[in-house]
Structure 1
Amino acid sequence: MQTLQIILLAALLVGTAYCVRSLRALHQKTSSKFERISREITAATKDIKASVLQSYRQGEAFSQLVALLKFSAPIPPTRSWAASPDLLLTIADLVRIHKPRLVVELGSGVSTLIVAKSGAKKIISMDNSEEFADKTRELLKAHSVRGVEIRVAELAPHVSGVDWYDTSKFNDLKRIDLLIVDGPPGSKNPNARKPALSELIGRLSPRAVIVIDDVNRDGERELAEAFAEALPNHVLTIYPHEKGTAVISPR
C-alpha cells in the first residue's frame, strides 16, 4: 500500500512538473506573440500617422498653389509618379523670386504648367515620350498658356553607360537660369539622371538655380551633391519634401 502511494505521489509530481513546464512554454509563446503583435501595431500606427501628416502637408501646399496661381481649368493628379504639391510650390516660389529668363525642364507635366503660371519668360521642357509631351501641350492649351516649347528627346545610349535624352536637342541652349531635373524616369536605374551634370553644367548662367526631385533616392542625392561640388559659388539645400527636393542656388 505504501509503495502504491509512493508511485502515485511520484506520478502526481511528474504530472505537475509537466503541467508547470507546459504552462511556462505556453506563457513564453503567448508573450512572444503578444510582443510581436504589439510591435506590429506600433509600427503600423507610426506609418499611419506619417501618412496622415504627409497628406495634410501636401494638401496645404496644393491649397497655396491654387490661391497663388488661380488655375482656370482642372489640373492632372499630383503625387505618385507625378510631382508632389510641395515640390510644385517650391518651384513656383523660385520662379517668382529669381525671375528666370530661360527655364529648362527635364520631364514635362504639371510642373511645366506651374512654371509657366508663375511667370517664367521662356520655358523649354524635354520629354522622352511623345504621348506625355502631347498631354502636356493639351494641359497648357486648356489653361491658355502660350510660349512654352515641349521638345521630344528620345532616350539614347549615353557615354556614361545609361540611356539619356538625345543630346542634340540641347545644342541651342545656353545661359539656363533655372534647371529642373525630374527626368528621365529614374526608379529602376539610380544613375539615369546623372548625365544632366556633364551635359548641362556648361549651359548654365552664372546665377542659375538647379532643382532636383526625388533626392530621397541615392542616385538623385548624389547628383545634387555633384552639382553643388561643381558650382563652388552655390549652396545645396535639401528640403524634407515627400520625395525629397534639392535646390542648388547662388550663395
Structure 2
Amino acid sequence: MPSPRVLAAAAAAGAALAVALLAWTVAAGALAPAAAAQLALSVLILAATVVAVAVTRRADGKALRVDARTKRQEAALRRTGEEISRLAATVDGLAGRLEEAGHRRAEVVLAALGEDRMELAAQAERLDRLDAELHAGRAELRAGRAELAATVRQNYAQLEALVDLRALLRPRAPLPALRGWAASPDMLRLLVGRIAAGGVKTVVECGSGSSSVWLGYAVERFGGGRVVALEHDERFARATRDLVLAHGLQDVVEVRHAPLLPWSGGRDGDDGDAVAVPWYDPAALADLPEVDLVFVDGPPGATAPLVRYPAVPVLLPHCTADAWIVLDDADRPAEREVAERWLREYPELAGTAHRAEKGAMVLRRTP
C-alpha cells in the first residue's frame, strides 16, 4: 500500500486537475460558477477523505503489525519465562544436590580434619618427646664433656704427681699401680712433701701396700727414720713385706700384722657415749712413743661404719706436738663424718682440706 505522503500527493494532484477542469467548464459556459464551486469543493473533500482513509488504514496496519509483534514478543517472553522456570528448577535441583554433596564433602573433610588433627597432635607429642630427649641428650652431652674434661684434668694431675714422685725418689724396682684401692699419686706427693720438709722420724700408716714403699723411699732419703704399716689381713701383710724386700727397704719399712679387734673409747662432745668399731690391735703401737706423721688409709671403708674413727683417739697420744694426721678418701661421706667428729671432739686439732683425687684432710695440733 502506498505511503500516506504518496496518497496525499496523488489526491492533491487529482483535486487540482478536477478544479482546473471545472474552471475550464465554467469558462466555456458549460457549467455555472456556483455549481462548479460546489463540485470543486466536493472534489477537495473527496481527496481529503481519500487521504484520511489511507492514513487511517496505514495506521491500522501499523497497529496490527505492532500488535502481532507484541503478541510474538509476549509469546517469546512466555517461552523465555518457561525456559527460565525450567532453568530455575534445574538450578534449584543442582543447588540442592550441590548443597547435599557439599554437606557430605564437609563431613568427609571434617572427619579427615579430625583424623589429621589427631595425627598432628600425635606428631606434636612425638616432637615434644624428641625435643625433650634432644635437650636431655644435650645436657647429658654437656655433662659428659664436663666429666671427660674433669677426668682428663685429674689424669693429668695424677700423672704429673707420679712424675714428680719418680723423679724425686727414683724407685729401685717396679711398683704396683697406684689409685683405685691404693693411694693416689697426689696424696703420696702430699705425704712425701711433709717428709721432705724434715723432722719426720716415725711414720705410721693405717693400711699397707704400694704406699708403704713410697713412704719408705721418702723416709730413707729425707727422714732417716722408719715407716710402720698396720695391716689387718695377714696375707696382704706378707705381700707388702715381699714388695718392701724387693725394693730393699726392709730396714726402713716394717709391716705389722694387726688384726681388727672391737674398740670403744674416745670422746663424744654431744652425749658422752662411747663409739664402738673394729680397729687394729693397739698392741701393735705399744713401742711407738713419738709419731711424726700418721697416714689413715685403713681399715677399708666397707668393714664397718666410721671404721677409721679410732685412729685419732688411739694414735694422738703417741704423736709429737707438730705431728700431721692425714686422712685419705676424705671426699667420701663416712670419712667426712669421721673428720667432723674428730674436730668436734678434739678441739685442740685444726683441720685443713687438701685437693686430692679422693680428698685429703690434714689435722694438726693448734699452737
The correspondence for 1:156, drawn from 234, 237, 261, is 261
The correspondence for 1:212, drawn from 311, 321, 327, is 327
Determine if the alignment matches structure 1 residue 195 to structure 2 residue 310.
yes
* Corresponding residue number in structure 2 for 1:96: 196
Distance 1:147 1:180 in 2: 16
Task: Tell me the alpha carbon deviations over residues 21-80 of structure 1, each in whole angstroms, 9 at most, x when there is no partner.
Answer: 222222112212222222222222222221111111100000000000011110111000
* Corresponding residue number in structure 2 for 1:224: 339
Task: Tell me the alpha carbon deviations over residues 60-117 of structure 1, each in whole angstroms, 9 at most, x when there is no partner.
Answer: 0000000000111101110000011001111110111143122111111122112221
Larger mean Cα displacement after TM superposition, 89-98 or 179-188 = 179-188
Task: Tell me the alpha carbon deviations over residues 194-214 of structure 1, each in whole angstroms, 9 at most, x when there is no partner.
Answer: 011221221111111111101
Distance 1:22 1:230, change over 3 A: closer
Q: How far did 1:13 drift?
A: 3.0
Contact 2:352 2:361 in 1 (8 A): yes
* Corresponding residue number in structure 2 for 1:33: 133
Distance 1:151 1:248 in 2: 24
Q: How far did 1:165 drift?
A: 0.9
- Unpaired segments ≥5 residues, structure 1: none
Distance 1:230 1:201, change over 3 A: farther
Alignment of 1:151-190 (within 5 A): 151-159=256-264, 160-187=275-302, 189-190=304-305
3-state secondary structure, aligned to 1:151: strand
* Corresponding residue number in structure 1 for 2:36: none
3-state secondary structure, aligned to 2:353: strand
Bigger relative contact order, structure 1 or 2 (CA pairs below 8 A, ≥6 apart): 1
Larger mean Cα displacement after TM superposition, 86-95 or 112-121 = 112-121
Task: Tell me the alpha carbon deviations over residues 133-165 of structure 1, each in whole angstroms, 9 at most, x when there is no partner.
Answer: 112211221111123221100112222322111
Distance 2:310 2:365 in 1: 22
When Rg is computed on C-alpha atoms for both structures, the one with the higher figure is: 2
* Corresponding residue number in structure 2 for 1:122: 226
Contact 1:190 1:220 in 2 (8 A): no
Distance 1:46 1:5 in 2: 59
The amino acid across from 1:138 in the alignment is D
Larger mean Cα displacement after TM superposition, 74-83 or 105-114 = 105-114
Cα RMSD of the aligned pairs, angstroms, is: 1.9
Contact 2:278 2:304 in 1 (8 A): no
3-state secondary structure, aligned to 1:52: helix
Larger mean Cα displacement after TM superposition, 228-237 or 54-63 = 228-237
Contact 1:227 1:248 in 2 (8 A): no
Q: How far did 1:250 drift?
A: 5.1
Contact 1:104 1:180 in 2 (8 A): yes
Distance 1:16 1:162, change over 3 A: same
Contact 1:124 1:148 in 2 (8 A): yes
Distance 1:142 1:154 in 2: 25
The amino acid across from 1:171 in the alignment is A
Distance 1:222 1:15, change over 3 A: closer
Larger mean Cα displacement after TM superposition, 52-61 or 130-139 = 130-139
Aligned residues: 251
